[in-house]
Amino acid sequence: MTTATHSDAKTDSNLVSIVFAAFLGLSVLFIAGFASSATLHDTAHDMRHAIGFACH
């Protein structure tokens, strides 16, 4: 019983870490790839074109 509870708690904390990592990655992608700020657009310009993300 104790083992099962321990293992459930571990799975839950793993899941939280996984969701956090995915959220972090998507935030980075959104800012670098999609955000429309002029400064960001200008600095990321060539790379956005290179990976085929909508740019202009």
Task: For the chain, report the end-to-end CA distance as a whole number of angstroms.
Answer: 58
Q: Do residues 33 and 44 touch, judged by C-beta distance below 8 A? A: yes
* Residues 25-44, interacting with another protein (CB under 8 A): 25-29, 32-34, 36, 43-44
Which among 53, 29, 55, 30 is positioned nearest to 41, based on CA atoms? 55
In this structure, what token pair is assigned to residue 45?
């310009």
# of chain residues touching another protein (CB under 8 A): 33
Q: Rounded to the nearest whole angstrom, what is the least distance from the CB of residue 2 to another protein in the complex? A: 21
12 lines the binding site for another protein (CB under 8 A): no
Which residues of the shown chain bind another protein in the complex (CB under 8 A)? 11, 13-15, 17-22, 24-29, 32-34, 36, 43-44, 46-56
